[in-house]
Amino acid sequence: MPVIGSSAQSKSGAERRPKGRIRRLNEDNILRAAEEVFARAGFAGARTAEIAAKAGVPKPNLHYYFKSKRALYRAVLENILRLWLAETDIIREDVEPRAALEQYLRAKMRFSRLYPNASKVFANEVIHGAGEIGPYLKTELRHLVNTKTRVFEHWIRAGRMMPLDPKHLFFAIWAVTQTYADFEAQVRAVLGVSALSDAQFRRATEQVIGLILRGCGYFYAAPAEGDGSAAAA
């Protein structure tokens, strides 16, 4: 589970203990409001008063859960990283490669649908030099990718997938899945819609899965409309 910078050190012992249901709900509500404000205004332009208003809580209550704007910003980054990286658990030597890739891709697309603002916050952080998460990217994320790279290399040596550079496969997956969140305005403009419907997003998901799996040497046929399964050989 990612911990960015020294944010863990700022939490009290009580905050590190298992959280009650109400506390979790309040924190989640504040985080979703913060995602929206940070995505639109950036860290410098965001105001905790606006975040509190969007979350429907008094500003002092917000600071009860998150001691500062920076702590809240880090929490937003940690939360989306936690969601994204947990899905890499399926990438193991004992798992069928095609199934692992499809599950990972579906999860990444699902998070772009459910957490588009959090993805934008992450993208803006990286574009502006990764001042908050730079050390994490160079250590924990690099270690994780190296670990999963060895899994891909095992699959390649065993003839279970075509030869490729696993790190660049990760870059491609991150780019193509997160574009539906980070560049949703461009996607909507090109498609001529004000928002992607669930059906349109399902179609986008199948297109992305097909592109990546075929690029890895696997056959993939998108399911027919209304069919939740994919035909594979």
Residues 6+ apart with CB under 8 A from 108: 84, 87, 173, 174, 177, 178
Question: Can you give the pLDDT at residue 19?
Answer: 63
Dist. CA 107–CA 115, nearest whole Å: 12
List b or e across 94-105, with b for residues whose CB sees 16 or more CB atoms inside 10 angstroms. Answer: eeebbebbbbbb
pLDDT at res. 4: 64
Q: Where are the beta strands (DSSP E) in 31-157?
A: none
pLDDT reported for residue 222: 76
- Alpha-carbon gap, residue 92 to 151, rounded angstroms: 6
Which residues in the chain come in under a pLDDT of 50? 1, 6-16, 227-233
pLDDT number for residue 219: 87
- The whole-angstrom separation of Cα 26 and Cα 107 is 25
- Compute the distance between CA of residue 104 and CA of residue 3 in angstroms, rounded to an integer: 22
Q: Report the CATH superfamily, name and number, of domain 7-76.
A: Homeodomain-like (1.10.10.60)
CATH 1.10.357.10 in the chain is located at 79-215
Structure-derived torsion over alpha carbons of residues 217, 222, 227, 228, reported in degrees to the nearest 10:
50
| CATH H-level superfamily of 79-215 | Tetracycline Repressor, domain 2 (1.10.357.10)
**pLDDT recorded at residue 161:** 95
Predicted local distance difference test score (pLDDT) of residue 5? 54
DSSP letter (8 states) at residue 21: H
Q: How far apart are CA 110 and CA 201, in angstroms?
A: 9
Start and end residues for every CATH 1.10.10.60 domain found in the chain: 7-76
